[in-house]
Amino acid sequence: MPVMDHPPAIRTDQLTRTYRLPRKRWGKSPPADGPAAFTALDGVTLEVRPGELFGLLGPNGAGKTTLIKILTTLLAPSSGTARVDGLDVVREADAIRPRINMVSGGESSGYGVLNVRENLWLFARIYGVSTRTAYDRIGAMLDVVGLADKATARVSHLSTGQRQKMNFCRGFITDPKILFLDEPTLGLDVTSARAIRGFVREWMAERPERTLLLTTHYMAEADELCDRLAIIDRGKVLACDTPANLKKRVQKHTIFELSLAPGRNGWADLGKLPGVHQSTANETPTTVEVKVLLEEEPVIGSVVQKLVTSGGHILSLKKVEPTLEDVFIELVGHGLGGDKPADRPSGGGP
Amino acid sequence: MTQPLRTLRLAAWLGWQLETNWASPWLFAIYMVVKPVCGSLMLVCMFYAARAAAGAKVPAEFLPYLYVSNACFGLIGTVMFGLSNAVVTDRERYRMLKYIYISPAHFRTYFLGRGLARALEGTVGGALNIAAGLLLFADLRRAMGGEGIDWLWLVVFLGVGSAMLWAAGMILAGACLNMSRNGMFLSEGIGGVVYLLSGVVFPIAVLPVWIQWVSRALPTTYWLEGMRRALMGPVPADTPILRGPLADWSNAELAGMLALTTAGLVVVAHYFWRWNERRAWRLGKLEENAGV
Amino acid sequence: MPSSLRLFVDAARARTYPRVAWLFRSRTWIFQETLLPVLGVAAFAYSYRAMQAPEAYTGLVVLGAAMTTFWMNVLWGMGAALYWERDAGNLELYVMSPAPLMGILTGMALGGMTTTLVRAATITVAGVLLFNVPLQPTSWWALAGVFLLTLTALYGLGMMFASVFLRWGREAWHLVNLFQEPVYLLTGTNFPVSAIFPKAVAVVASAIPLTAGMDAMRQVLFHTPGIFPVWQEALLLAVLSVVFLLLARRLLRNLERRAKEEGKLTIRWQ
């Protein structure tokens, strides 16, 4: 639970980061009409309280990793400010580093010639953790992620998932005050991901002053773990609140999920129907999964009628509670998996 | 038939891009000249140092011998090192080796293409090196101007030599498939051994007799002798210090022996590569990264 | 919270570990790190023999080869090190950690020195035995002193290169490659610099620690004429060591700042 009467663990104010695009080489230059720079973060203002487990939700390229890199002192902001544990990431980077650590899922690091325990020991030592403490923590962490039997295996002989688990352990063995987890369960099997989520909750509960910033693609993971969430897209924060409050945003609408037989029979135009706030569809080889947000529950009749008269074949229909995904779609216009937005009239309805 | 050709073309293009697009054309041109010329100048300095110490015992013909040999060997070094480097960087740095392996592209043809890019670089470097030598040293101008370049034999030795270069490169690249990043140092070390045994900077007659037989089993020895002859003519009879066991061979005998030993090398390269490729596949080395 | 000095020492020791571990775990290192370089050296030794140069010249080649292994390690093991670390995904972890990057580089240098020392010692012993190199040092102490100063200056230079090369991205690999032969030439790897180069060129070349170091060691070991007297070359090496280490520290800070601004600390495959 967040500690309320302390300065923010993380605070950003109008944080912006732009990247210059590649320069000319061997007479080849980027297209003249193309942009000279790319904006990864655009005026991000956020505050994470000490003790909070804060989530960042956003599609690929939204700017989540750029934000984490700035907060972990790896990247300089182009403008705006960022403070971690009250310290400025540009001027006081040296003071920030002993307090933080980061785990970036899906990336491999370490030395192939060393075994798992030695790699973790090395990264503990550069934080000044004594060898004895490091070995104790390494043992405990390897048990958590189910990698104890691989402690003496060379990293070059590990699978991708096992490397990722080792990487996860690396973030915790220095006992950071503020931890950044960037997609920590990416590519892990269900059991391992569940164990990691469980451990993250326990780790946060152990000491109230610990803060964790998590980015994830998995809505359920964010919903389950995070005290508060920011939804970010194209470098901008679109919303920031508790999962419950965010869901309330779409609770004014009634949500139905329909499963249709394949084919483009009417579902693409559902967003144009009076009373339909939003409609998204995800086509699979065997079905079309349609989700509609309605101004009022009886509008479902018009939806069904439209589908039937257009030749659509409804396989199932159910009313559902709003999820973070619905919030995400409401704000971003599409799902994380790239669900297509259906056409809707300007102004959002009749 | 189009698939191997496409692989060859794309691999050569990729190799050339990786070799060249890191720098501006000017910097790359400097790179192409400075590296080989400095290597040759070091030998020239050794020659003058020895001459200063030993006096007239070192004939003037020793300098062109050193210079031309070394310039030609640059091509061997570039292709041999280049192919093993292609394996190491594709696997460790770009992490693409596994994707090339599982693609329809013929794995060996891919490396042939990568080798072509390096061979082009090596040939241009060698030519520039000799041009710089001609500009700087009268002894070299005299040696190469005496009988002029024998273009026919030059083409013959370059033609057979290209098969030799590819085979030698594939042997090292094959070994690198099963080694970590240090494979690059292995190829450099092997390059040093070939440099010794092929008599690049001395006639092989200086070597102990049993090593001379090892030298005579290597196609590189015949290739270098052939290239020297094509560029400068045979070793003059009045410089016994430079006359090795091949001095009395005719050009045709040299070319025949080069073809024979190259054929042997190609067979060895074929089986050695195949064995290494299978071993790497079995041990999962095609995608293994091992930074130190 | 550990002190800066403590973190420096811990980081240096930790980063030394993978390099030394590799020495014991790589099954091919004896072959590739010792036998092959010795055979490579032999080519130049036989060349001098063919030219009927004095026996001491073979000693120049052996010493040159042994010392060149350190230069190679400085270029490939130090200069390109941060570049490799970035490709392996480790650099960002080091930058993000409280450990000073100079500590990490010192660890690399110590590890590299250890492994290279084995290689250089093998080349020297094998070269001396194979080619009957006459060794009559004027002072073993002077030899050891000059050797240690040369290593300090060389690895200081390597630390400087590490920053510069990382900033140059993929060009670093080629630049390392490009520097190899000119440095062999300027440092007189296989010949006495003062016997060949005009004094002015030799003096300029002495800014490379390998030139001054090898020249001094050759004077002590083989009584060859030198660019400067041994004590002056030792002094020069000491000055170069301090200058390079200070510059390395400054460049490293500069690099970190610039790389963070340009986002190059974490971008791989450049």
User: pLDDT by residue (tens digit) across B115-128?
Assistant: 888 888 888 889 99
The token duo for B102 is 């599982």
The residues near B218 (Cβ < 8 Å, ≥ 6 apart) are B194, B197, B198, B261
C46 versus C86: which is more confidently predicted?
C46
Closest chain C C-alpha to B59 CA, distance in angstroms: 8
Give the predicted TM-score (pTM) of the model.
Answer: 0.74
Do residues A255 and A230 share a domain? Answer: no
Tell me the residues of A at the B interface, defined by beta carbons under 8 Å apart: 25-26, 108, 110-113, 156-157
Could you say which of C18, C47, C181 has the minimum Cβ distance to residue B202?
A: C47
The residues near A282 (Cβ < 8 Å, ≥ 6 apart) are A288, A289, A335, A337, A339, A340
Query: Cβ contact (<8 Å) for B193 and C40?
Result: yes
**Quick one: pLDDT at residue A32?**
60
E strands, A138-267, are 178-182, 211-216, 228-233, 236-241, 254-260
Listed residue (B67, B78, B73) closest to B130, CA to CA:
B67
The residues near C254 (Cβ < 8 Å, ≥ 6 apart) are C163
Identify the residue among A107, A122, A156, A157 best suited for mutation to test binding to B, counting B beta carbons within 10 A and taking the highest. Answer: A156
Listed residue (C42, C30, C75, C64) closest to C224, CA to CA:
C64
> Could you give the percent of chain C with pLDDT greater than 70?
92
Let me know if residue A5 belongs to a domain. no
The token duo for A9 is 């663990």
Whose tokens are 């580093």? That residue is A97
CA gap C251, C247 in Å, rounded: 6
Q: Is the pLDDT at B19 greater than 80, yes or no?
A: no
Strand partners, A320: A255
Do residues A220 and A283 share a domain? Answer: no
Do residues A210 and A316 share a domain? Answer: no
Do residues A233 and A261 share a domain? Answer: no
CA gap A167, A189 in Å, rounded: 15
CA gap C107, C110 in Å, rounded: 5
Do residues A150 and A286 share a domain? Answer: no
Coil, strand, or helix at residue A60? coil
Let me know if residue A114 belongs to a domain. yes
Could you say which of C14, C22, C25 has the minimum Cβ distance to residue A122?
A: C14
Domain boundary among A193, A225, A241: A241
Give the strand pairing for A53-57 and A211-216.
parallel
Query: Cβ contact (<8 Å) for A122 and C25?
Result: no
Which amino acid belongs to residue C149? Answer: L
Neighbours of chain C (3+ CB pairs under 8 A): A, B
Q: Is the pLDDT at B234 greater than 90, yes or no?
A: no
The token duo for B108 is 């060996």
Do residues A80 and A191 share a domain? Answer: yes
Closest chain A C-alpha to B25 CA, distance in angstroms: 6
The pLDDT tens digits of the residues spanning C107-162 come to 988 988 888 888 889 888 888 888 888 888 888 899 999 999 999 999 999 888 88
Could you say which of C37, C42, C87 has the minimum Cβ distance to residue B189?
A: C37
Domain boundary among A241, A259, A278: A241
Residue A132 binned pLDDT confidence (cut-offs 50, 70, 90): very high
Average model confidence (pLDDT) across chain A:
84
Helices in A146-242 by DSSP H: which ranges?
160-172, 190-206, 219-225
Cα separations (Å) of B93 from C28, C89, C122? 22, 11, 31
Residue A136 binned pLDDT confidence (cut-offs 50, 70, 90): very high
Listed residue (A113, C162, C77, C170) closest to B184, CA to CA:
C77
Let me know if residue A348 belongs to a domain. no
Query: Cβ contact (<8 Å) for C266 and A75?
Result: yes
Do residues A77 and A21 share a domain? Answer: yes
Domain boundary among A218, A241, A264: A241
The lowest-confidence range among A20-34, A40-54, B91-105, C216-230 is A20-34
A345 versus A66: which is more confidently predicted?
A66
Could you say which of A20, A108, A127 has the minimum Cβ distance to residue C98?
A: A127
Run of H or E residues at A316: strand A314-320
Let me know if residue A347 belongs to a domain. no
Measured between beta carbons, the chain C residues lying within 8 angstroms of B43 are 47
The token duo for A128 is 């000044």
Q: Is the pLDDT at C248 greater than 70, yes or no?
A: yes
Do residues A72 and A109 share a domain? Answer: yes
Domain ranges in chain B?
A: 2-283
C137 versus A117: which is more confidently predicted?
A117
CA gap A310, A265 in Å, rounded: 5
Nearest CA in chain A to B26: A26
pLDDT average, residue stretch B99-127: 86
CA gap C207, B29 in Å, rounded: 26
CA gap A94, B54 in Å, rounded: 61
Could you say which of B192, B206, B292 has the minimum Cβ distance to residue C36?
A: B192
Nearest CA in chain B to C179: B35
Q: Is the pLDDT at A200 greater than 70, yes or no?
A: yes
Do residues A199 and A254 share a domain? Answer: no
- CATH number of the domain that residue A254 is part of: 3.30.70
Measured between beta carbons, the chain A residues lying within 8 angstroms of C262 are 20
Do residues A115 and A193 share a domain? Answer: yes
Strand partners, A231: A57, A239
CA gap A137, A140 in Å, rounded: 5
Residue A350 binned pLDDT confidence (cut-offs 50, 70, 90): very low
**Quick one: pLDDT at residue A343?**
44
Do residues A234 and A88 share a domain? Answer: yes
The token duo for A169 is 């352990």
Do residues A113 and A212 share a domain? Answer: yes
The pLDDT tens digits of the residues spanning A164-191 come to 899 999 999 999 999 999 988 887 888 8
Let me know if residue A346 belongs to a domain. no
**Quick one: pLDDT at residue A346?**
32
> Could you give the percent of chain A with pLDDT greater than 90?
36
Q: Is the pLDDT at B22 greater than 70, yes or no?
A: no
Question: Which residues span the domain enclosing A297?
Answer: 248-341
**Quick one: pLDDT at residue A345?**
33
pLDDT average, residue stretch B196-203: 92
Number of domains in chain A: 2
> Could you give the percent of chain A with pLDDT greater than 70?
89
The pLDDT tens digits of the residues spanning B30-74 come to 888 888 899 899 999 999 999 888 776 788 888 999 999 999 998
The pLDDT tens digits of the residues spanning A267-290 come to 788 888 888 888 888 888 888 888
The lowest-confidence range among A81-85, B181-185, B219-223 is B181-185
Measured between beta carbons, the chain A residues lying within 8 angstroms of C1 are 98, 128
